[in-house]
Amino acid sequence: MKTVRDKLRRLTLIAMKGLHLVGFALLLGEIAYSHSINLHIEAADLAALAHGRQIVSLASHRLIMSGLALMVVSGIVMALVRYGLRWPRWILVKTVCTILFAVMAFFFVFPAVNHATAWAVRSAQDHQRHAEYAFWLGRETSFGTVTLLLLIVSGALALWKPRLNFQACTERSGIKRDGHQRGGFGCAVLKSVMAGLPALQDGEPGQVRKEAATAIYCKCRGLGSPLSFSALVWGA
């Protein structure tokens, strides 16, 4: 039964991670797509300017909303399947970045896109480019840069979660590292230190109150070692 549950958990994580990457690609692709269109229509005539801005508005609303929905739903499912209700700090930080991204998109980027498109259409109708179009286009660019930075930070947190998990593990274990204690320890090793002093040599019993503890050889990966592929994929 445990094997079936583990397989189901692994398949769920793979599926949700795939959807998460699709959502990330939609958001990043929309930003690049809109930027390329804006550069292409900048020197075009007013009719092409209005048509291009309508495409930018449509792509911004559809792709950003779809990508954000995929990232939020898949991220919540992955966090619940992997950690339950006790989420590590890096997930909380990533959640804050996602919330800020949504706030910037819905309350700053979308209104700026709509206003820039409206003034582009009005410029085509009046046969002259209005100054308001450049103003709202500048605000759209500024707000879009902030959302792009939030997206990059969110992706970086997902890639470097093993190191952040290590730091959280040391804090939960109550072990303080001074200047002489460098290098990585796993959670299991840290918890074993809490039980008492180990024996001096391999296989030698060490006494902790009335309970005997035996030291065993354990090779751990330090913080300076390269991250393994399984640690990046499964957070193990």
For residue range 129-165, what is the model confidence (pLDDT) as tens digits? 999 999 999 999 999 999 999 999 988 888 887 555 5
Domain ranges within the chain, ordered by starting residue: 2-159, 167-234
Q: 203 phi and psi, to 5 degrees?
A: 85, -5
User: What's residue 2's pLDDT?
Assistant: 64
CB 159 within 8 A of CB 232: yes
Give SS3 for 235: coil
Q: Considering only 8-17, 104-113, 125-134, 158-167, which range has the smallest mean pLDDT?
A: 158-167
CB 54 within 8 A of CB 121: yes
Confidence of residue 44 (pLDDT cuts 50, 70, 90): confident
| Residues contacting residue 186 through CB under 8 Å, at least 6 positions apart | 169, 220
pLDDT at 185 over 80: no
pLDDT at 209 over 50: no
Share of the chain above pLDDT 90, in %: 53
* Token pair in block for residue 68: 């954000």
Confidence of residue 30 (pLDDT cuts 50, 70, 90): very high
> How crowded is the C-beta side of 86, counted as CA atoms within 13 Å?
4
User: What's residue 105's pLDDT?
Assistant: 93
User: What's residue 66's pLDDT?
Assistant: 94
Identify any residues that bridge with 206 across adjacent strands, giving them in sequence order: 213
CATH classification number, 2-159, choose in 3.30.200, 1.10.287, 1.20.120, 1.10.3470: 1.20.120
User: What's residue 81's pLDDT?
Assistant: 92
